[in-house]
Structure 1
Amino acid sequence: MTRPLRVVFICTQNKLRSPTAEAIFRSLDGWEVTSAGTNRDAETPVSRDLLEWADVAVCMEKRHRDVLRQQFSGALPDDRIVTLGIPDDYEFMDGTLVELLERLVPTRLDAVAPREAV
């Protein structure tokens, strides 16, 4: 039996975008998900342990990816860090945000971590 794909969703404060993504994909078969923020005062701050646990980090913006690369170099290979390009313009579970995540996340993750390869 193959273990679930471990995905951590990353935004700044871990209050709106990444928790929305976690809520959407939490019940998806074959995925184990969590979320974190790049700021020190985030609801759940990102950590080296969390990145080492993950198969893939899904960042909402390029600046989140840059923080992971700078502060947690080597915790997760660069080719396992995905950037969605979703700005901080949405509330938790905003309908447009949900649509964006449902459209972008599966496509980006299939390109990085095919389920049968994990």
Structure 2
Amino acid sequence: MNILFVCSRNQWRSPTAEKIYKNRSDLTVKSAGTEPSARNRLTAKNINWADLIFVMEKKHKQRMVEKFPFETGQKQIIILHIPDEYTYMDPELVEDIKTKVDEYIQK
């Protein structure tokens, strides 16, 4: 399964999620950001590649749908409701991501 994690700048939250799940043999994961300043910017190609998309906040889904209406039309986009108040691999962030994502990607 191809999973895409999205936040604003692809600096802390989505790269943390990518790192958590990157070594699972049943998953291929990527991360991207919605802002022009993002480390890895969200593209139509990312969205088309993904089987499942997790966004950290509602605004990320809104930006995706506005910018890529055709690509997001049939995609399952899950809002994790994780605010931008963590640093990369923050233990609380890791726990929050695992708790919310694992129910969608059972082993």
Structure 1 length-normalised TM: 0.85
Question: For the residues of structure 2 that align with 1:106 and 1:77, how far apart are their CA atoms?
Answer: 24
Please state if 1:12 is matched with 2:29. no
Size of the aligned set, in residue pairs, is 107
Structure number with the higher helix fraction is 1
Residue in structure 1 matching 2:36, options 40, 43, 51: 40
Residue identity over aligned pairs, in percent, reads 34
Q: Determine the structure 2 residue equivalent to 1:51.
A: 47
1:11·1:61 contact (CA, 8 Å) conserved in 2? yes
Structure 2, unaligned runs of 5 or more: none
Structure 1, unaligned runs of 5 or more: none
Structure 2 length-normalised TM: 0.94
Residue 76 of structure 1 deviates from its aligned partner by 2.9
Distance 1:79 1:47, change over 3 A: closer
Question: What is the correspondence of 1:22-33 to structure 2 with a 5 Å cutoff?
Answer: 22-33=18-29
Distance 1:95 1:27, change over 3 A: same
Question: For the residues of structure 1 that align with 2:67 and 2:102, how far apart are their CA atoms?
Answer: 27
RMSD, aligned α-carbons = 1.5
Question: For the residues of structure 1 that align with 2:92 and 2:84, how far apart are their CA atoms?
Answer: 12
Q: Deviations over 1:26-75 (max 9, x none)?
A: 01121000000000110000000110011111000000000111101121
1:38·1:46 contact (CA, 8 Å) conserved in 2? yes
Question: For the residues of structure 2 that align with 1:87 and 1:77, how far apart are their CA atoms?
Answer: 25
Residue in structure 1 matching 2:68, options 69, 72, 96: 72
